[in-house]
Amino acid sequence: MSVRVNEDNFEAVVSKSDLPVLVEFYSDSCVPCKQMSPILGDLEDDYENRLKIVKVNSNFDVSLATRFRVMASPTILFFKHGEEINRTRGLKTKSELEEIISEML
């Protein structure tokens, strides 16, 4: 299960990570976000020890959503060495995300 991060631990968990990081900005009331959960769970299993997957609740962590200009849920940002290198918005298939991940690894 993806770890939830917030303003307090974002730098330590995402920006200073030795591994590439996938960050899903989500909302509890977002149906596509709920549909993404099992996909992200599968990716966590498939990329264990090679990719970190975390979640940010856009409703509670507005400062992070604003900082990264997240305007819709779900929005997925991809970080490597603390820098955003890619992003996607809306419901994605596992294979669509794997394509982005493979470019990142």
**33: annotated active-site residue:** yes
**4: annotated active-site residue:** no
Query: How far are the Cα atoms of 33, 45, 51, 68 from residue 38, in angstroms, in the given order?
Result: 10, 11, 16, 24
CA 39/CA 50 separation, integer angstroms = 17
Closest by CA position to 13, among listed 74, 57, 44, 55: 55
Whether the Cβ atoms of residue 30 and residue 73 lie closer than 8 Å to each other: yes
Cα atoms found within 13 Å of the Cα of residue 62, Cβ hemisphere only? 1
Active-site choice (4, 17, 19, 30): 30
Active-site choice (33, 56, 65, 77): 33
Active site amino acids: 30, 33
